[in-house]
A and B are shown apart, each in its own frame.
Chain A
Amino acid sequence: MNERISAYSLLVLDDEPQIVKAMTRVLARMPSEWLDAPCAVKGFTDPHEALASLGERNYDLVISDLRMPIMNGLDFLRQARELQPDAMRIVISGHADLPTVMSAVNDTQVFRFIDKPWNDTELQMGVAQALRNCMLLRENQRLADVVRVQRSTISRQEEALRDLEADSPGITHVERDETGAIFIDENEFDSD
């Protein structure tokens, strides 16, 4: 994987501004051995503002609360997924019942469910894993693209070779003797 130079971009949404700030602090002191670049966190307390930001810039990870007054966290994550399908999603919630968790996993494909109050280490670890996962997926995509491009280049070369062979048969596979001299079939010469 490529060494990453720029910071990871994260979006944190919770209706409680103090929670956004506390989470930003925890992520800012992410142990460097867990992640190859620092986390740049943009915090929001208004889901609509967060969605607007998702339409403007790229994020690697979206973290959201579930129970918020203006918009349900699951609705928010669903819309976030439509806007940026490549970004990872994490839910942080203090009261998650089974149907909610199932909906989060099945409909919005969250990467992780973190309980509130969270354990700082657990949060950092979850975020680090999500970001590494995100990078792996992106790297995977990039490599797949490279392979596709290389494949198409190869097929172009093969075509050229076939044309050459059809024009002058034998030209694509030259035979040499042990001294390195080129072997020429005189019969072919004569018939020409």
Chain B
Amino acid sequence: MTMNVSKGLDACRDAAQGDDFDLAAATAVLGALPVAVIVLDHRGALCFANASAQRLAGVIHSDIRQGLQRLVDHPPQSDVADAEHAPRDCEDRFDCATEGGRALGVIRQWRVSGDDGKVSVTVRPARNEAAPDAMQASTPTSTLDGKSANEQQSLIHAEKLATVGQLAAGMAHEINNPICYVQSNLGTLRDYLNKLFGILELSDQLVRDREMTPEQRLDALDMRKQAADYQMIAEDLPALLEESREGVERIRQIVQNLRDFSRLDPTESFRLFDVHRAIETTLDIVRSLGGGRIRFATYFQQLPLIECNPTELNQVLMNILVNATQAIDDDGAIEIHTELSGDHIGIRISDNGCGMDEATRLHIFEPFFTTKEVGKGTGLGLSISYGIIQKHGGRITVESEIGKGTTFVITLPLRQANHGTEATS
């Protein structure tokens, strides 16, 4: 135990040499504590648990997350003598969390004392000085906002690439088809050219042959043309070239979409952009994931250009659409409606997939919350989307019913309050 603590102190000292005490050092210190520490945000949702808390949770439930949740909801019975530190109920915790009219986090501690496993519980409010605004905005993305801009950027990019990874299989299929026929058509083209050159060479010889009559020459040439399927080649060649050109164009488009999407461009600022174009580009990529089993329908109203960060908007749409395709087991449908209402636009994305229960719905915007298997999702997609929409001064809400489907509604202002002056098309 002392070893652990001293390790934590080392981390602390290292950090002290830097400008400020960073998150990694704080995590190391908390991790080395013999006391279980669980950090909740002001709404009571889990933010962090140190190693001791995770050990404790592991004793209670095989699934650490559920164990932690149970610790928070029903803390272990504390010692009678320790009655004043008895766990407070949810209401108390919430009061604590909004003390002084400001949003606060909550720290909950247990100390395992002795062999009989009795614990004391302390609830402490903790101010998050780093991001008071984010806390006030009542967003669960506060832990993301707490990170430095660089860290956040790379996290967002990692999430983006993870989405691309999920798309890779569908994408490969989508690129493979045009490659198939372009490659094969090139083989056919070579065959056609050989035949055409054969005819050309023959006509060359015939022209130089002074002993033949014009009729003989024509006959010989006609015979050769017939043997080489000249008529068929002449008819098919333009179609072959056009189809191949179209195939290469399709590949180019897919690669272009992919590059647009995965581009890491922190300097890209807000500009006037066509929301429908963003939706179409994203749909192009997502369609390949659906493998044709999903019907996509778009109902677009006339919309003005809105001031937004196009790359980020694409990412939000991508996250929601990928989730929607994954919620659909058999063939299903995804509908996208857009509408203009006053100085806002609304994007409504509905799927008729499996839907989700209330408990899941409450957590979907939390970082690292995922219902997908390990390795399938980072649990960051929707929390990043939430952050992006928040940054745009918009709102993102979700309705869902098990077995019926899920609907995301995004509202975005036409103009950005802060960036209004620099907006140019």
The interface of chain A, by Cβ under 8 A from chain B, is: 15-16, 18-19, 21-23, 25-26, 28-29, 67-69, 94-95, 116-118, 120
CA distance A21 to B293 in the complex (A): 24
Can you sample 14 A-B contacts with CB below 8 Å?
A: A16-B180, A16-B181, A22-B180, A22-B185, A22-B188, A25-B185, A25-B236, A28-B232, A67-B291, A94-B180, A95-B169, A116-B176, A117-B183, A120-B187
CB distance B191 to A117 under 8 Å?
Answer: no
Q: Are A15 and B292 in contact, CB atoms less than 8 angstroms apart? A: yes
**Alpha-carbon distance A18/B185, docked complex (angstroms):** 10
Say which residue of A15, A25, A29, A117 sits within 8 Å of B180 (CB atoms): A117
The 8 closest A-B pairs by CB, nearest first: A69-B292, A22-B181, A117-B180, A22-B184, A120-B187, A25-B188, A18-B181, A94-B176
Q: Is the interface of B mostly helix, strand, loop or mixed?
A: helix
Contact of B177 with A by CB under 8 A: yes
Q: A22-B185, A120-B184 are in contact. Are A94 and B177 (CB under 8 A)?
A: yes
Shortest CB-to-CB span from B127 to chain A, Å, is 54
Q: Give chain A nearest CB distance to B365 CB in angstroms.
A: 33
Which residue on chain B has the smallest CB distance to residue A92? B180
Q: Mark B54-76, 1 if CB is under 8 A from A, else 0.
A: 00000000000000000000000
Contact A21 B292 (CB under 8 A): no
> Which of B15-23, B240-248, B318-326, B393-401 is the contact stretch?
B240-248
A118 CB contact (under 8 Å) in B172, B180, B240, B246: B180
19 additional contacts (CB under 8 A) given A22-B180, A95-B173, A118-B184:
A16-B177, A18-B178, A18-B243, A18-B246, A19-B180, A21-B181, A22-B184, A22-B185, A22-B243, A23-B184, A25-B185, A25-B188, A26-B187, A68-B292, A69-B292, A94-B176, A117-B176, A117-B183, A117-B184
8 A Cβ contacts from B224-271 to A: 232, 236, 239-240, 243, 246-247
Q: Which residues of B contact A (CB under 8 A)?
A: 169, 172-173, 176-181, 183-185, 187-188, 191, 232, 236, 239-240, 243, 246-247, 291-293
B-chain residues with CB within 8 Å of residue A18 when the two chains form the complex:
177-178, 181, 243, 246-247
The answer for the CA separation of A78 and B179 in the assembled complex, in Å, is 28
Are B292's CB and A25's CB within 8 A? Answer: no
**Contacting residues, chain B, for A29 (C-beta < 8 A):** 188, 191
Whether the Cβ atoms of B184 and A69 lie closer than 8 Å is no
Majority DSSP secondary structure for residues of A touching B: loop
Closest to A65 in B: B177
Compute how far the CA of A101 lies from the CA of B178 in the bound complex, rounded to whole angstroms: 23
A28 to B184, CA, bound (A): 13
Cβ–Cβ < 8 Å partners of B178 in chain A: 18
Verify B173–A25 contact, CB threshold 8 A. Answer: no
Distance, CA A117 to CA B188, complexed state (A): 14
- Nearest-CB residue, chain A, relative to B293: A69
Asked whether B173 lies within 8 Å of A94 as measured between CB atoms, the reply is yes
Choose from A19, A69, A95 the contact partner of B181 (Cβ within 8 Å). A19
Minimum Cβ distance to chain B for residue A20 (Å): 9
Smallest Cβ-Cβ distance to A16: which chain B residue:
B177
Closest Cβ of chain A to B386, distance in Å, is 34
Residues of A within 8 A of B188 (CB): 22, 25-26, 29, 120
- Closest residue of A by beta carbon distance from B177: A16
Set of chain A residues within 8 Å of B246, measured between Cβ atoms: 18
Identity of the chain A residue whose Cβ is nearest the Cβ of B185 in the assembled complex: A22
Given contacts A18-B246, A67-B291, A68-B292, contact A25 B176 (CB under 8 A): no
Q: For the complex, what is the distance from the CA of A170 to the CA of B185, rounded to whole Å? A: 77
On chain A, the residues within 8 Å of B169 by CB distance are 95
Task: Report if A21-B243 is in contact (Cβ < 8 Å); known contacts: A26-B188, A120-B187.
Answer: yes
CB-defined contacts of A26 to chain B, threshold 8 Å: 184, 187-188
Q: Which residues of A contact B180 (CB under 8 A)?
A: 16, 19, 22, 94, 116-118
Q: How far is the CB of B325 from chain A (nearest CB, A)?
A: 14
> Of A19, A21, A23, which one neighbours B239 at CB under 8 angstroms?
A21
Whether A25 contacts B240 by the Cβ 8 Å rule is: yes
Tell me the smallest distance from the CB of B194 to a CB of chain A, in Å: 10
Q: What is the CB-to-nearest-CB distance from A3 to chain B, in angstroms, rounded to a whole number?
A: 20
> Which of A21, A23, A67 counts the most B-chain CB atoms under 10 A from its CB?
A21
Cα–Cα, bound, A171→B314 (Å): 101
